[in-house]
């Protein structure tokens, strides 16, 4: 496995990771993906500061992330920690 296939699988895996982590840490955020091969994760809209910092796409009361090859697990962990904090949840995902 190499090239585009490797990138695509990595994105899908990280999108799955983000969905499961959000569901675990902030269950009321309604995190979901549209299908098992989607790299888009939809969840309850965060604060404006997080929207800008993480360049999230938003509409109404929802936001979404498209996990691309440049989106690392460390970035996702940092986002989840900050997102959870806005709901009063304290979590540390950094390893």
For residue 26, the 8-state DSSP code is S
pTM here is 0.92
Helix (H) or strand (E) holding 11: helix 3-25
Q: Distance between CA 1 and CA 74 in Å, rounded?
A: 24
Q: What number is the average pLDDT over the span 74-79? A: 96
- pLDDT tens for 6-25 read 999 999 999 999 999 999 99
- pLDDT tens for 29-64 read 998 988 889 999 999 999 999 999 999 999 999 999
- In the numeric block, which tokens belong to residue 48? 């404006």
Domain positions in the chain: 3-85
Predicted local confidence at residue 89, as pLDDT: 81
Q: Which of 50, 46, 2 is nearest to 26 (CA)?
A: 46
Neighbour-count burial for 44-58, b at 16+ CB within 10 Å, e otherwise: bbbeeebeeebebee
The CATH class given to the 3-85 domain equals alpha beta
Backbone φ and ψ for 27, nearest 5 degrees, come out as -60, -30
pLDDT at 95 over 80: no
């Amino acid at each position: 496995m190499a090239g585009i296939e490797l990138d695509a699988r990595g994105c899908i895996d990280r999108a799955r990771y983000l969905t499961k982590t959000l569901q675990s840490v902030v269950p009321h955020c309604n995190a979901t993906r549209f299908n098992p091969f989607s790299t888009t994760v939809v969840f309850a809209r965060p604060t404006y500061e997080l929207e800008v910092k993480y360049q999230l796409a938003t509409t109404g009361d929802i936001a979404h992330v498209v996990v691309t090859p440049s989106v690392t697990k460390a970035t996702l962990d940092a986002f989840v920690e900050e997102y959870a904090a806005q709901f009063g949840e304290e979590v540390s995902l950094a390893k």
